[in-house]
Amino acid sequence: MIKKAVLPVAGLGTRFLPATKASPKEMLPIIDKPLIQYAVEEALKAGIEEFLFITGKHKRAIEDHFDKAYELEERLKNSGKYELLNKINCFENLNFVYIRQKEPKGLGDAILCAKPFVRDEAFVVILSDDLIDPEYSVLNEMIKIYEEKKAPVIALEEVPISEVSRYGIVSGKKLNNYYIIDDLVEKPDLASAPSQLAIIGRYILTPQIFKYLENLSPGKSGEIQLTDALKLLLKETPIYGYVIEKGKRYDAGEKFGYLKTIVEFALKDKEISSDFIKFLQEKIQTFISNNKKSF
Ligand code: UTP
């Protein structure tokens, strides 16, 4: 059984500057919950019991978010706001560990920081800016494949050809509900992309990955790339890919994707969806009638 999750949160979040100058990208809210909370809730549903956050500068807000907030809790209790109280104190008994990545040298380097926590167990990696529909458990499906194969499993999604250079891209052979991966390349240009199957921010890794990460030189964008270490790992073990259902992953790590995520979640939110739909209809109608020539 997989019980440990690693959540790298030490990146600079440059695509959201200036919002991320002094506060973490992973704390950006989708309606009323930060991205990182969705990630923790997803892991809990998949049976994860121990959480390691790879943090960096300006990431204290993440620790505070999952910590006890004595004063606030007292105030909510005294004013009888028990529903809100339950929303903020539900993580206090979980097993959270924080390790600092000294410099944001890339996702591969962040994962290497997890070595002392992971020891000899397989573990899940969750990148919280890839938000998965909370109704859909991709991790459970990946864990099933891991349990059958006892080898790394990575989440995949078919992306438009115009987007391949933003992702790690794999090629492989499809068998049943998974792929056997035969190549991986980080952010290829259009001409050299082996397919349109992109690596999404969910991985099940084994401790074998660390020896490759330890000896890795910087790759694309001058960063230590997890994809490069996975490519080397392929010589030692098969790696499996699980393609997630279309429309179940939201790319909240860049501005347009973030905006789309908020709209999708607002449309599903019982409390605000009907007002939000009315608002959107009015806005769109007004916009179209004011810009008739372009439509
Ligand atoms: P991203 O590339 O999406 O995040 O990394 P980023 O680097 O913070 O954002 P941009 O590209 O500058 O806008 C995916 C995840 O890996 C973490 C990030 O915090 C994010 O959750 N990460 C990335 C690290 O923990 N350390 C790193 O050195 C790089």
Q: How many angstroms does the Cα of residue 190 sit away from the middle of ligand 1? A: 23
CATH code at position 127: 3.90.550.10
CB 38 within 8 A of CB 27: no
Residue with CA at minimum distance from ligand 1 atom 9: 13
Which residue range forms the structural domain that includes residue 286? 255-295
More confident residue, 247 or 241: 241
User: Across residues 264-277, what is the average pLDDT?
Assistant: 96
Looking at residue 58, its pLDDT comes to: 84
Q: What is the pLDDT of residue 295?
A: 66
For ligand 1, mutation pick of 25, 109, 186 (most atoms within 8 Å of CB): 25
**Could you tell me what percent of the chain has a pLDDT over 70?**
99
The span from the CA of 38 to the CA of 128, in Å, is 7
Q: Are residues 284 and 141 in the same domain?
A: no
Of 6, 248, 262, which Cα lies nearest the Cα of 123?
6
pLDDT higher than threshold 90 for residue 127: yes
pLDDT of residue 132: 97
- Whether residues 158 and 268 share a domain: the answer is no
User: Residue range 117-140: average pLDDT?
Assistant: 96
Atom of ligand 1 nearest to the CA of 104: 28
| Position in ligand 1 atom list of the atom nearest CA 9 | 19
30: left (phi over 0), alpha (psi -120 to 50) or beta: beta
Does residue 72 share a domain with residue 217?
yes
Q: Read off the amino acid at residue 198.
A: A
Looking at residue 33, its pLDDT comes to 97
pLDDT of residue 57: 86
269 and 167, same domain (yes or no):
no
Of 7, 21, 107, the one to substitute when testing ligand 1's pocket (max ligand atoms within 8 A of C-beta) is 107
How large is the average pLDDT for residues 28-53? 97
Query: Ligand 1 centroid vs 16 CA: distance in angstroms?
Result: 11
Q: Of all protein residues, whose CA lies closest to atom 1 belonging to ligand 1?
A: 11
**Is 105 in the same domain as 220?**
yes
Give the C-alpha separation, 249 to 154, whole Å.
Answer: 14
Residues with CB under 6 A from ligand 1: 8-15, 25-26, 54, 101, 104-107, 109-110, 127-129, 253
Residues 6+ apart with CB under 8 A from 147: none
Residue 292 has pLDDT above 80, yes or no: no
Alpha carbons 82 and 103: distance in angstroms, whole number: 41
* pTM > 0.85: yes or no: yes
For residue 134, count CB atoms less than 10 angstroms from its CB and return exposed for 0-12, middle for 13-18, buried for 19 or more. middle
Residues 269 and 193 grouped into a single domain: no
Q: Are residues 67 and 109 in the same domain?
A: yes
Q: Are residues 124 and 141 in contact, defined by beta-carbon separation less than 8 angstroms?
A: no
For the segment 107-130, the average pLDDT, to the nearest whole number, is: 97
Q: Which residue has 């990630």 as its token pair?
A: 39
pLDDT-based confidence at residue 20 (cuts at 50, 70, 90): very high
Q: What is the pLDDT of residue 176?
A: 85
For 109-248, where are the E strands, in sequence order?
Answer: 123-126, 130-132, 153-158, 168-175, 178-186, 197-205, 240-243
Asked whether residue 260 falls in the same domain as residue 136, the answer is: no
Mean of per-residue pLDDT scores for the chain: 95
Examine the domain organization and report whether 122 and 176 are in the same domain: yes
**Judgement on whether residues 226 and 291 belong to the same structural domain of the protein:** no
* Sole residue written with tokens 């206090």: 92
Same domain, 206 and 154: yes
Q: Are residues 225 and 281 in the same domain?
A: no
Q: Does residue 249 register a pLDDT over 90?
A: yes
* 154-175 pLDDT per residue, tens: 999 999 999 999 999 999 999 9
Choose among 84, 67, 87: nearest CA to 76. 84
Number of domains in the chain: 2
What pLDDT does residue 160 have? 94
